[in-house]
Amino acid sequence: MEPAWRRDRVGLPALLLTALMSTAITPAALSAGLKPGVPAAPDCRTVTPAIAARAALGGPGRHSGSARVQPQIARRGELTGRVLSVQLANGAAVNVNLPVESHVGEATGDLILYTRHTAAAGSEVRALNLANGCDVSLATPTEIVRSSVLDQTANFLYVHSVSRGPRADAGVVRFELATGRQTQVVAPLRPADDFGPIFGTGLHWSVDGAALAAQSCGFGSCLTRVLDVATGKVKRLDAAGQGAFIGLTAGHLVTFAACAGLPCDVLSTDLATGAVTVLAVDAFAAELTPVGAGRALVSIQTSAGSMEVLQ
């Protein structure tokens, strides 16, 4: 609680000025339709996609600002969109309004990738720099964009989309940021009838960044296609009972079983043979810690305690 003397001396004008300075003065704010203010922002118009993407090179968890996504749910209970709220390195706050058809990735280095699609404006992948607030368009996919990730070099953008109209899986397209060249690297998925409609698809890098997993899930179970970035070969892992993605190593895909909840068994699928092994029964959490050479230590929490498995 602010002392009364200070409230009296500072007064309403100062409070308004403080509020103005703390919000919406960046190029991100401009792109989000917010009014400009002070202080001066960098000239983001000169930032190319390739340059913008380099802000991700700091790696996961090493970013200057902070960000969170707030779903917008109307009084009637309908999801109407999301707000990406960012605290920049200089303390300024930025809010980016996103449509319902949007996806916000986790911050990598100083970069947050987000996608958005509306029938009127089409699809777009954008990169928001947490350090300087530059919000740059990286790609404008022709289909309905669902999510995207950058590779470890920040030279390539991988985008997952669904087709307009039937919203069938449109596979994964790689955008070369320097040239804008597009290459379909994972073909559209045509799951078996008994798999049912695809509810969600996620793009996840292997621990060494050499392979990209595109995991598509139906109501309760999933299948994963693993792209070897160097060779361009795609391996499909669709043994029954596969659930949510946990991690990918050079040799194994680690997932939950098809539980749609917790606790849940943790499975390991051998990339070479497709053989599935149960790593743990009734786990509540699992995560991978890279240990080099494409391998990782899988730490699993169960009600009985914790365990670690090298994969």
Sites of contact with other proteins (CB under 8 A): 71, 73, 75-80, 82, 100-101, 103, 146-147, 162, 167, 169, 194-202, 216-222, 244, 258-263, 265, 277-279, 281-282, 284, 303
Output 108 or 255, the one with its CB closest to other proteins: 255
Nearer to other proteins, 54 or 117 (CB): 117
Q: How many residues does the chain have?
A: 311
Asked if 209 and 151 touch (Cβ cutoff 8 Å), the reply is: yes
Of 63 and 117, CB closest to other proteins: 117
Under a CB-based contact definition with an 8 Å cutoff, are residues 283 and 266 in contact? Answer: yes
In terms of C-beta distances under 8 Å and separation of at least 24 residues, what long-range contacts does 280-287 make, across chains too? Answer: 280/307, 280/309, 283/256, 286/246, 286/247, 286/254, 286/256, 287/246, 287/247
Q: In angstroms, give the least distance from the CB of 163 to other proteins.
A: 10
The minimum distance between CB 164 and other proteins, in angstroms, equals 12
Q: Compute φ and ψ for 19, nearest 5 degrees.
A: -65, -40
The Cα–Cα gap between 307 and 285 comes to 11
Would you give the distance in Å from CA 198 to the centre of its chain?
18
Q: With beta carbons less than 8 A apart as the criterion, state whether 163 and 124 touch.
A: no
Nearer to other proteins, 14 or 79 (CB): 79
Least distance CB 197 / other proteins (angstroms): 4
CB nearer to other proteins: pick between 47 and 144? 144
Rounded CA gap, 256 and 268, in Å? Answer: 9
Q: How far apart are CA 239 and CA 222, in angstroms?
A: 9
| CB environment 131-147: b (16+ within 10 A), e (fewer) | bbbbbbebbebebbbbb
Closer residue to other proteins, CB minimum distance, 26 or 255? 255
Residue 174 CA to its chain's centroid (Å): 16
Q: Whose Cβ is closer to other proteins: residue 58's or residue 241's?
A: 241
Cα Rg, the chain, nearest whole Å: 22
